[in-house]
Amino acid sequence: MDAYPNQGKERILPARIEQYIAEKTGSAVVLGLDKVLDPGDSLIGGSRIAGFMETHKRFEWYVPLTAKKALIWKTYVVPQTDRDRVSFLISAGFGNGSPLPQPAGQWDIFCNDRFAVSVRVVNHSQLWRGSECTFAFSANRLEAAEPYQSLCLSSVLTQEAFATFGPALLTVPTSWLEPGQSAVIRVEAKAEAESTRWFHIATTSDILFRSDVYPAVDLLSRNGPQKVGKHNLYFGDIHTHSGQVMDEIENRGCGMGSWEDNYLYAKGPGGLDFYALTDHERQIPPDNPAKYFGLADKYNENGRFVCLAAYEFTNHCYGHRDIYFRNMDAIVVGTNRKGLDPTMDPAICTTPQELWSKLEAHGVPFITVPHHSSATAHPCSWDFYNPKYDRLIEVYSTWGSSEYYGDFPRGVSDRYRTLTVRDALNRGWRAGLIASSDGHDGHPGNAQSPLVKHHHQFHFLGSGRAAVFAEELTREAVFDALYARCCYGTTGPPIMLSFTLNEKPMGSEIPSLKRRKAPQVKILCEGTNGIDHIRIVKNGNVCHTVPAHGEFSGTVEWEDAEFDPDRSNYYYVRVVQVDRESAWSSPIWIG
């Protein structure tokens, strides 16, 4: 569906667009913003607005993340309908409000005084789900400033690291509404720290005619996840930390919030398909680890939100590894043989071999994932490697990129030149690549707070996300995809990346090829912003780069004419968008 559905004969009119939305989503359609009843602590839009913005309205409001008073408005009148759901069409947007990283948080949306759904700042399209309601936002207009610089988008938005605007559909049960009456929508901000981030709402009387609403409709009406070939694509954050230690929840851990706070954010405004809380061993009750691991079962909801049982093996001598279990019969192996806090004393420090042996003896399938390998504080030794369990390496998190020394952005994760991901792969590691936040601020999938101990980690890109190709959204299917290395990592946005070599998917090991039979690479990518370039890395070196010139999708077919069948070779793909957000595929090995 577009502006000219009839071979360009006539432009589609608002009434037909409204009918299309109703048919596509199965809901009645109501314009979402008639009049603001109470602006609360919102800012009203300025007199000068950049053409970049979606609606070009003077009547728009920005709800700061730290607003104390809610924004309250009434919708257009809700008609009599036999549909069981109503979708309010809204012009929305999100922004950072500063060229510097800003703390995360959320906005809770209420309809007629009933909680509907929570949202948070995104730089991409996103569908959020509440227990009965949804909020589908299409990032039609997205712009990001150069690193450490800012955009000036209006007389109000003068210092923006990034901003995105587009239509949104807030869908609620019809039973919440009164036919012939307007609904009252309330937006309440919630944040633990001062932040300049904002949520944008604008008048909508002509949104059907002046905005491309179809991407938001597609997002809302999509039955199930995005399909890539035979598999579904799911996104998650499987490396986060809380502030809870044992039964104490007063932020005594290295993170923030209780265990349950982190699960609730991941499932709600975090907008994740799958999640893992990976607290350090000292935070887990040694006499009752089921109290910690059991929350993965409590919040697990197959088909919607999957939780893995996991924790972090915090080894100061040999490097940190996250441990993930295929089922809930999980155990904790400490890094200190005396059962105390992690130690630098090798005489009492549990070695990686001892870790694998103890977990193997327990009998539950597991994987181990090294991370921030070249960080000065917690580097990882590549001398300890078990191909059966070290199935993945975390290539990116809030610490920055570990792909190679000097990668962009330079966080605190590229301090040792010989401990990067490429170094591990060049040593013969056959590990897939993922990313996650390593979040410490209680906002899984959206870690950006200066309140935590590692306040220096945060930067202008996302906090990291893992992607898996799986047949269904269950704990077992997600674990199996991770184990098979049928996965990849992004800096945060849900970039779609498909990479095959001789028709084999990422993570595959291919036997040696015959001489004169060159490997055939195929790449398909859909960005959340314009793509700058697509890069193929072979045996630690960039062997082929394809410029994308800002296109939102890219397809690459390439043959390695310099292939040497007498040696082992590995290949992986890096996609870089114009806003520097990136995705890394897992490698494929030949020989």
pLDDT of residue 145: 93
pLDDT of residue 8: 63
pLDDT at 128 over 90: yes
* Contacts of 523 by beta carbon, 8 Å cutoff, 6+ apart: 497, 498, 499, 534, 536, 554, 555, 556, 557, 558, 573
For 101-126, write each residue's pLDDT tens digit. 899 999 999 999 999 999 999 999 99
pLDDT of residue 251: 65
* Contacts of 99 by beta carbon, 8 Å cutoff, 6+ apart: 145, 148, 149, 150, 159, 160, 161, 460
Structure-derived torsion over alpha carbons of residues 51, 52, 54, 57, reported in degrees to the nearest 10: -40
pLDDT of residue 225: 87
pLDDT band at 46 (very low <50, low <70, confident <90, very high): confident
pLDDT at 453 over 70: no
Strand, helix or coil at 199? strand
For 471-527, write each residue's pLDDT tens digit. 999 999 999 999 999 999 999 999 999 999 999 999 999 998 877 788 999 999 999
pLDDT band at 156 (very low <50, low <70, confident <90, very high): confident
Q: Decide if 242 contacts 236 (C-beta within 8 A).
A: no
pLDDT band at 293 (very low <50, low <70, confident <90, very high): very high
Least confident span in 403-407, 424-428, 537-541: 403-407
pLDDT of residue 204: 78
pLDDT of residue 408: 79
pLDDT of residue 229: 87
Q: Decide if 361 contacts 368 (C-beta within 8 A).
A: no
Average pLDDT, the chain: 93
pLDDT at 275 over 80: yes
Instruction: Give dist(CA 568, CA 585) in Å, integer.
Output: 19
Most confident of 296-305, 406-415, 505-514: 296-305
pLDDT of residue 61: 94
Give the side-chain half-sphere CA count within 13 A for 299.
25
Q: Decide if 459 contacts 409 (C-beta within 8 A).
A: yes
pLDDT of residue 210: 86
**pTM summary value:** 0.96
For 319-375, write each residue's pLDDT tens digit. 999 999 999 999 999 999 988 788 999 999 999 999 999 999 999 999 999 999 998
Q: Decide if 311 contacts 300 (C-beta within 8 A).
A: no
pLDDT of residue 376: 75
Mean pLDDT value across residues 449-472: 82
pLDDT band at 6 (very low <50, low <70, confident <90, very high): low
Mean pLDDT value across residues 143-149: 89
Q: 495-591 in CATH: which number?
A: 2.60.40.10
pLDDT at 295 over 90: yes
Q: Which helix (H) or strand (E) holds 72?
A: strand 71-77
pLDDT of residue 57: 66
pLDDT of residue 341: 84
Sequence spans of domains, the chain:
14-221, 226-494, 495-591
Return the number of other C-beta atoms located less than 10 Å from residue 387's C-beta: 10
pLDDT of residue 450: 65
For 221-246, write each residue's pLDDT tens digit. 987 889 898 899 999 999 999 999 99
Q: In terms of CATH, what superfamily is 226-494?
A: Metal-dependent hydrolases (3.20.20.140)
